[in-house]
Structure 1
Amino acid sequence: MAFYRCPYILRTGEVCNRGCYHPDGCYVYRSSPIRIPCKEYGCSELNRSKYGYCDLYARKHRKKKQYQQKKLEKMAQNGSEKAF
């Protein structure tokens, strides 16, 4: 069994460098979600959002989804009223 050093980069910019027996890193960071840069042009903030945008730009996508859900609920409610 080989001995490895954890390659995970901390928020401070330093490498974790803990000793471990797994090539992917130590038990703390091995299963942590991957942070990707924001999709918005000119923004390089790292995030874990399901939209791929940082908090500043993800808001419009969350609002759009919320609007669509309300619209579908209203359509379903109007459809059930017409059935009676």
Structure 2
Amino acid sequence: MYKYFFIGLVLTIINLFLGVNFHNWNLLFNITALAVLIPFMISGILIGAFVSGDRMRGNFYSETKEDRESNRKWASKFF
């Protein structure tokens, strides 16, 4: 789990370095926002946070336990 934290930390340090060197704080903000929003969206899709209750219930009964565990594992990695 710490591996993904350190990947995010390295990306943040690189973004900070680019923002300081180019004197462009908008670049820093945009890259950081994309680096945060894209994994959050993928995590939400894998968990099923963007569907209605009926669809979530249908998905729950159509998935196997292994599929649910796999989705939760990948969602936690992206989060």
Interval of TM-score (by shorter of Structure 1 and Structure 2): 0.3 to 0.5
More helix by share: 2
Scaled by the length of structure 1, the TM-score of the pair is 0.32
Scaled by the length of structure 2, the TM-score of the pair is 0.33
Query: Radius of gyration: which is bigger?
Result: 1
User: Which structure has the higher relative contact order (CA within 8 Å, separation 6+)?
Assistant: 2
